[in-house]
């Protein structure tokens, strides 16, 4: 019971990736072991400490409103009424990473899929696929923010549309998700802060993204981001900085159909590269960057 149901393992050029059953599942809360709760508690306490003064206030405050604590893995059934009341979003349990189309359908209907299982103690510092800690601790708090909540739904709708246009259009949108929802930074009066879920669920990257001189930090630019390659196997080489969630949502309001057509004729940009036209907040030293090509 306590192992996710993998329907098959897909062989790709980058190795074997798990593909999970795509249905929605009840969170098997009673089946979590004391080790599971302990892993949650340890990660929760550690990240709350790291994120004070690093994550944006909206993120930290929403975790409090949702009453997430280190004591035990939260119950989706207790988070849902709070979330529904705030922005109309709802969490659904899933076995793991979903096929793109299924994932976008959930977003378009204001359902956020959360992996029900949590990593093992030996994976506390690193896990290569999203688990409950990443999905719940990382993604769910900002769904309490009305503007971000609307952005996520619009993204889901936009991705379903892009899916029907071309593979390239969808890749453009995947990059946008990566550099905002997963790895976004935001400018505040107190300085740069984190809002990306991929960062807040990682201790190392939470510190690195703000304090290391190695990566670039560049002002948000929609079409620039949609051309930017990214790496899934290392900390990011470039972070994009928004001024507000309104800026992010406003930039994505136009119909992208013509943007996709325009981008189809432009080369992609390597993850580490800085363009003359970039609004550079910090030009990275690239110290310690891998020398191989981006994924």
The answer to whether the annotation marks 163 as part of a ligand binding site is: no
In the bound complex, what is the minimum distance in angstroms from residue 47's beta carbon to ligand PHE?
Answer: 27
Q: Rounded to an integer, what distance in angstroms lies between the CA atom of residue 73 and that of residue 114?
A: 13
> Residues interacting with Co ion, by CB under 5 A?
197
- Choice between 13 and 255, CB closer to ligand PHE: 255
282 annotated active-site: no
Token pair for 244: 């507000």
Torsion of CA 27, 33, 37, 38, to 10 degrees: -160
Q: Report the residue closest to ligand PHE, judged by CB.
A: 158
201 annotated active-site: yes
- Choice between 176 and 194, CB closer to ligand PHE: 176
In the bound complex, what is the minimum distance in angstroms from residue 19's beta carbon to ligand PHE?
Answer: 25
Hey, is 127 helix, strand or coil? coil
158 is a contact residue toward ligand PHE (CB under 6 A): yes
Beta-ladder partners of 228? 269
Residue 292 interface partner, choices Co ion, ligand PHE, none, CB cut-off 5-8 Å depending on type: none
Residue 175 interface partner, choices Co ion, ligand PHE, none, CB cut-off 5-8 Å depending on type: none
222 is a contact residue toward ligand PHE (CB under 6 A): no
182 annotated active-site: yes
Site residues (CB under 6 A) for ligand PHE, limited to 164-183: 176
215 is a contact residue toward ligand PHE (CB under 6 A): no
The answer to whether the annotation marks 37 as part of a ligand binding site is: no
Q: What is the CA radius of gyration of the chain?
A: 18
CA 78 to chain centre: 23
b/e map of 52-78 (b: 16 or more CB within 10 Å)?
eebbbebbbebbeebebeeebbbebee
139 annotated active-site: yes
In the bound complex, what is the minimum distance in angstroms from residue 252's beta carbon to ligand PHE?
Answer: 3
Checking phi first, is residue 67 left (phi over 0); if not, alpha (psi -120 to 50) or beta? left
Query: Is the separation of the CB atoms in 170 and 159 below 8 Å?
Result: yes
Q: Which of 201, 202, 206, 282 is labelled catalytic?
A: 201
- Choice between 154 and 280, CB closer to ligand PHE: 154
Roughly what angle, to the nearest 10 degrees, separates helices 76-87 and 146-165? 90
In the bound complex, what is the minimum distance in angstroms from residue 251's beta carbon to ligand PHE?
Answer: 8
Residues noted as catalytic: 134, 139, 182, 201
List binding-site positions for Fe cation: 134, 139, 182
């Amino acid at each position: 019971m306590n192992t996710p149901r993998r329907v098959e393992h897909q062989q790709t050029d980058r190795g074997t990736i798990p593909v999970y059953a795509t249905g929605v599942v009840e969170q098997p809360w009673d089946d979590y072991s004391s080790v599971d709760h302990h892993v949650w508690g340890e990660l929760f306490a550690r990240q709350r400490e790291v994120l004070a003064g690093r994550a944006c206030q909206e993120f930290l405050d929403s975790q409090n409103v949702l009453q997430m604590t280190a004591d035990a893995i939260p119950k989706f059934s207790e988070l849902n009424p709070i979330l529904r009341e705030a922005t109309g979003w709802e969490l659904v349990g899933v076995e793991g990473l979903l096929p793109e189309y299924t994932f976008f359908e959930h977003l378009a209907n204001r359902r956020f899929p959360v992996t029900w299982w949590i990593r093992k103690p030996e994976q506390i510092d690193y896990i290569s696929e999203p688990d409950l800690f990443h999905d719940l601790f990382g993604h769910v708090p900002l769904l309490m923010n009305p503007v971000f909540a609307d952005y996520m739904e619009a993204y889901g709708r936009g991705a379903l549309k892009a899916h029907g246009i071309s593979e390239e259009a969808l890749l453009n949108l995947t990059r946008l998700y990566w550099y905002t929802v997963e790895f976004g930074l935001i400018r505040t009066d107190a300085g740069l802060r984190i809002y990306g879920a991929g960062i807040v669920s990682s201790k190392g990257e939470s510190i690195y993204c703000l304090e290391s001189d190695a990566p670039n930090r560049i002002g948000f630019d929609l079409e620039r981001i949609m051309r930017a390659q990214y790496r899934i196997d290392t900390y990011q080489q470039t972070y994009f900085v928004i001024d507000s969630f309104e800026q992010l949502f406003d930039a994505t309001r136009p119909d992208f159909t013509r943007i996709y057509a325009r981008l189809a004729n432009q080369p992609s940009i390597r993850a580490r590269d800085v363009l003359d036209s970039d609004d550079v907040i910090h030009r990275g030293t690239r110290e310690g960057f891998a020398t191989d090509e981006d994924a």
